[in-house]
Amino acid sequence: MPNATLALAQALIARRSLTPRDDQCQELLISRLEKLGFRIERMRFGEVDNFWARRGNTAPLLCFAGHTDVVPTGPLEQWDSDPFMPVIREGRLYGRGAADMKSSLAAFVTAIEAFLETHADHRGSIALLITSDEEGSAVDGTVKVVETLKARGELLDYCIVGEPTCTDRLGDTIKNGRRGSLSGNLTIQGIQGHIAYPHLAKNPIHLAAPAIAELASTVWDQGNEYFPPTTWHISNINAGTGATNVIPGKLNMLFNFRFSTASTVESLTAQVHGILDKHGLDYQLQWELSGKPFLTPKAELAEAMRDAIRQTTQLDPQLSTTGGTSDGRFIADICKQVVEFGPINATIHKLNENVEVNDLEKLSQIYQLTLENLLTGIRDQTDSADTD
């Protein structure tokens, strides 16, 4: 239907779903899915609304995953229009969540609707995993739904996460993995004292400096075909009382690894402790793992989506693992093939967030063709013909 994706995207943007609020976005989606024969499970954990919807009981199971919550707007007076009153200007749809990721949610639904009009008896199953906790703490959202599905043995064959992945044109980038995120909270003990009597004190800044230099210069791995080398960076460091004549008694430092599948949590933590111990520091170190890296190599899902993108946009998308974390890190625990694909990401989390109106139906068509490639055997037949 003309502009069906646009209309649904506008309806979703009009709901003030500031994380972790959903503001009835999910009920809007559910009302459309129930008409298509989906079984709906509402899963509320803590203050977070999630739902799992499935149509069919056989393999392969293709899941669309996304989030209804959005980040705060920032100063309202700096927006050209109300961020929760979707408007179209010069061919672009403006509003908070337009790119991240309410347009993808709308395209999920319209793609499934169009697919089922002609393939009601498709093979396999279709599902949606939707949360309102991706932009926030991400503790009561997708991770909890995944735990529930895993506990009952309900695994996925393919998953498409609707994150905005494209850089310049719709269709130029598919994310087939993400780096992991590992943070450390390091405290180095010294002895506070008068700066004029340094022999009676121990300056933790001076003690830590050689270790920090070694950590900053360490090559953690070389990366691999899909990932750049692992990086280590300090995000915050502080010590002292604010006075110029007091040697501080301790130093606190926050740091983060963005790591590839070429390293493990165990290898990185062991290396850091080894460096700190080598320099004889008195320290405490707490670790927090936000997400392990995941990778989907070139296989059925990535190739099916690349075919769909070529048909729709005539672009040959690149596979990329750049960027921050996403809920794909949780879904990879129950699904061997996870990719992310969605609109251009140039305005996400910014003032005047927007997407091109013309991209919305193209996005829906890409999702629809991917469904056809994986759940109707069309791609299998094409591959066979190419081989012949």
- The string of pLDDT tens digits covering residues 93-104 is 999 999 999 999
| Residue 258 predicted with pLDDT over 60 | yes
Catalytic residue of the set 69, 135, 140, 372: 69
Q: What is the mean pLDDT of the chain?
A: 95
- Helix, coil or strand: residue 218: coil
How much is the average pLDDT of 295-316?
95
CB contact set of 65 (below 8 Å; sequence gap of 6+) = 128, 129, 130, 142, 159, 160, 161, 162, 327, 328, 331
333 is catalytic: no
pTM: 0.88
Q: How long, in residues, is the chain?
A: 388
pLDDT band at 279 (very low <50, low <70, confident <90, very high): very high
Judged against a pLDDT cut of 90, whether residue 250 lies above it is answered with yes
Does 77 participate in catalysis according to the annotation?
A: no
Q: What is the mean pLDDT of residues 77-90?
A: 98
pLDDT interval class at 2 (50, 70, 90) = low
Positions of E strands within the chain: 39-45, 48-55, 61-67, 87-89, 92-94, 125-131, 156-161, 173-175, 177-178, 180-189, 193-194, 231-239, 246-247, 250-259, 283-291, 294-295, 318-320, 335-340, 354-356
Which among 67, 122, 141 has a CA at the least distance from the CA of 373?
Answer: 122
**Strand, coil or helix: 330:** helix
Residue 384, pLDDT > 70, answer no
- Going across the sheet that includes 173-175, the strands are 39-45, 48-55, 125-131, 61-67, 156-161, 335-340, 173-175, 318-320
Report the alpha-carbon distance of residue 298 to residue 26 in Å, rounded.
32
Q: What is the pLDDT of residue 194?
A: 97
CB 96 within 8 A of CB 73: yes
**Interval 114-170: pLDDT, tens:** 999 999 999 999 999 999 999 998 999 999 999 999 999 999 999 999 999 999 999
Q: What is the pLDDT of residue 170?
A: 98
pLDDT at 377 over 60: yes
Confidence bin at 385 (pLDDT 50/70/90): very low
Q: Report residue 175's pLDDT band, with 50, 70 and 90 as the boundaries.
A: very high
Counts for the chain of helices (H) and strands (E), in that order: 10, 19
The mean per-residue pLDDT over the stretch 254-271 comes to: 96
Residue from 133, 134, 163, 361 carrying the catalytic annotation: 134
Give the model's pLDDT for residue 325: 84
CA-based nearest residue to 136, from 265, 243, 240, 50: 50
Per-residue confidence (pLDDT) for residue 378, from 0 to 100: 53
**pLDDT for 71 beyond 70:** yes
Please check whether residue 17 is in contact with residue 96, taking contact to mean a CB–CB distance below 8 angstroms: no
Band (pLDDT 50/70/90 cuts) for residue 297 is: confident
Mean pLDDT on 204-215? 98
